[in-house]
Amino acid sequence: MIGLTIAGLDPSGGAGILTDIKTFSALGIHGTSVVTNLTAQNPDKVYGIKEVDTDFISLQFDSILDAYPIEYGKTGMLYSKEIIKLVSEKINENDLKIVIDPVMVASSGANLMNNDYSKYLKKYLIPNGVLVCPNIKEAETLSGIKINNLNDGIKAAEKIGKKTNVIITGGHLNGQSILYDGDIKVYTQELIKTNNTHGSGCTFSAAVCGYLIKNYDLRESIEKSNDYVYNSIKYGRYKTLNPLYELNNL
Ligand code: PXL
């Protein structure tokens, strides 16, 4: 079983590609990656961002897809319109089924997107995804709806859900996640008091992608990923998640 992450590199290992690969590994999946951006950061601060040029991103896609029969992938930090367009073209050309984490801002507060990022995400990428998983802030940006309570979240999910299945992840709404896949379903989870949350969006989207690869349906994959992220946060270390908890048996 093989998965693909199309995302940025967080050298602290807390988020981005390194976390996605750890998550795939914990699920028994061989992880491949296309690096869209290099970042210099730790869980507290982003020191810098360097975009990879689109020709080289394209070459990474070709090198992986020429060698491996990949069906499912996920996207993380894409940063610019040019990268979103290129990634969307590659996804369409290769019929990839993609879980989209619409990464906009790092947990430390730094911007991980360029101007009009949300507009181009909605135009090129989201309509071709199998699931988009925004947190509350990202859902507000994508929907244009301010989310103060569950009802607002449901409205936002229905609006974003016109383009593809969506789950608004619940870390900021009392542990309530809102799925719209034609019907609304609300998942409620206990919130853990901790600062080990850096990378939770990356881990969730990689886990959903991983469970889809393992042939679970979308709802089963989401439910299993909710548990997976809960435990990764619970057993986190060094202000980041521990997506290997299953392997470590902590
Ligand atoms: O958690 C969002 C995220 C995604 N991808 C990269 C990141 C971060 C947050 O810091 O650095 C590369």
Select from 210, 212, 207 the least CA-distant residue to 29. 210
pLDDT of 250 reads 43
pLDDT of 3 reads 98
Residue type at position 138: E
Q: Tokens 């619409």 appear where? A: 102
Structure tokens at 163: 């383009």
Domain of residue 125, CATH code: 3.40.1190.20
* Ligand 1 neighbour 78 (Cβ under 6 A): no
Residue type at position 248: N
What total number of domains does the chain contain? 1
Residue type at position 26: A
Which one of 103, 135, 232 would you pick to mutate in the ligand 1 pocket, going by the greatest count of ligand atoms within 8 A of its CB?
A: 103
What span, in angstroms and rounded, lies between the C-alpha atoms of 145 and 43? 29
What span, in angstroms and rounded, lies between the C-alpha atoms of 188 and 191? 9
pLDDT of 232 reads 92
pLDDT of 203 reads 96
What span, in angstroms and rounded, lies between the C-alpha atoms of 6 and 15? 13
Does the pTM exceed 0.85? yes
* 3-class secondary structure, 30: strand
* Ligand 1 neighbour 7 (Cβ under 6 A): yes
Please give the number of the atom of ligand 1 that sits closest to the Cα of 46.
10
Range of the domain at 6: 2-248
pLDDT of 240 reads 84
Spacing, Cα 137 to ligand 1 middle (Å): 15
pLDDT of 147 reads 96
* Pure H helices in 171-216: 200-213
Which one of 33, 46, 77 would you pick to mutate in the ligand 1 pocket, going by the greatest count of ligand atoms within 8 A of its CB?
A: 77
Select from 73, 91, 94, 71 the least CA-distant residue to 83. 91
pLDDT below 50 — which residues of the chain? 249-250
pLDDT of 99 reads 98
pLDDT of 248 reads 55
Spacing, Cα 11 to ligand 1 middle (Å): 10
Query: CA of 20: how far to CAs of 124, 143, 149, in Å?
Result: 23, 26, 30
CB within 8 A of 53, min separation 6: which ones? none
